[in-house]
Amino acid sequence: MTGVRNALRVALRNGKLVVGLAVVLALLLAALVVPVTIASGPNEYVGPTAAPPSAEYWFGTTTFGQDVFAQFAYGLRATFLVGLLGGGLAAIIGMAVGFIAGYRGGLVDEILNMITNIVLVLPALVVLLIVNAYLGVRDVGVQALFIGLTSWPWAARAIRAQTLSLRSRDFVDLARLSGMRTPGIIVREIAPNMSSYLFMTFILLFGGSVLIAASLDFIGLGPTQGVSLGLMLNNAARWSALHLGMWWWFVPPGAGITAVVGSLYVVNVGLDEVFNPKLREM
């Protein structure tokens, strides 16, 4: 318990971690709560067309009279959803491949390394473009699935390297001599000693999934039902919001994507300083 209290004390003193986490939690809370309080749907025509921000329409309206604030709130929810699903799936695959390859070694390591390298050299964005364009995949869940299936290789290689350095430690040898099976050794002995690294890996995968999804949405290959921040940018560009001076249509989604990804990066930097005392001394 003393170690946990000390870690929390150090974490609360880290400005980067506190600020980044506060922004992430505020955005997450808005994504969960605000859509419930809005009576109209994000794509409903509720007001005057191309109206600037006002007391009634906080973020103004689109050229079709849609509430930009409602679209932003729903889009923020979709952003967190695709980041959680895509980043979570990539983290699970990367951890499984990295742990098994690093601990087992030999032929298993060679086969998993070959698969990892194949997926690593594939142009992931191009694959996603083809899948979305020709298979008609236009759902947030399926989009997150394909993002997760193409985003795990770098995490697997990094986790494999960490596992290689841990598998020869004394506590792993003792667990092996006690008769503990491979899954138990990985879960109980190796993974806990990499918990901070695994958590930071998930954060990076989360942010990467958000950026990939936003890129697909922006070029028109996002979900056909609902709304996302990337689709908001796509619609704003398609209907010439910039040329019409409708800054309230494209600034909020752009700022939302930047805030989510940027705050996650700041959280990751802060966690790195918390878990690595040498960085705190610099």
User: Are the beta carbons of 255 and 239 closer than 8 angstroms?
Assistant: no
| pLDDT at residue 271, as a whole number | 86
Question: What would the two tokens of residue 254 be?
Answer: 């752009």
> What's the farthest any 2 CA atoms get from each other in the chain?
74
Task: Output phi, psi for 158, to 5 deg.
Answer: -65, -40
If you average pLDDT over every residue of the chain, what do you get? 87
Rounded Cα distance, 265 and 252, in Å: 20
Task: Output phi, psi for 48, to 5 deg.
Answer: -65, 155
Whether residue 278 has pLDDT greater than 70 = no
User: Per residue in 125-175, pLDDT tens?
Assistant: 777 777 766 766 567 888 888 889 989 999 999 999 999 988 888 888 888
User: Per residue in 67-93, pLDDT tens?
Assistant: 999 999 999 999 999 999 999 999 999
Domain boundaries, the chain: 75-281
**C-alpha to C-alpha distances, 257 to 6, 69, 70, 100, 187, nearest whole angstrom:** 33, 15, 16, 35, 34
Other C-beta atoms closer than 10 Å to the C-beta of 260 total 25
Q: In the predicted model, what is the mean pLDDT of residues 203-216?
A: 92
Rounded Cα distance, 114 and 120, in Å: 10
Q: With the C-alpha atoms ordered 273, 277, 281, 282, is the resulting torsion angle positive or negative?
A: negative
Task: Give the CA count within 13 Å in the CB-facing half-sphere of 142.
Answer: 13
Cβ-defined contacts of 136-140 (< 8 Å, 24+): 138/221, 138/222, 138/223, 138/224, 138/225, 139/223, 139/225, 140/78, 140/81, 140/82, 140/85, 140/223, 140/226, 140/228
Fold for the domain defined by 75-281: MetI-like fold (1.10.3720)
| pLDDT at residue 116, as a whole number | 93
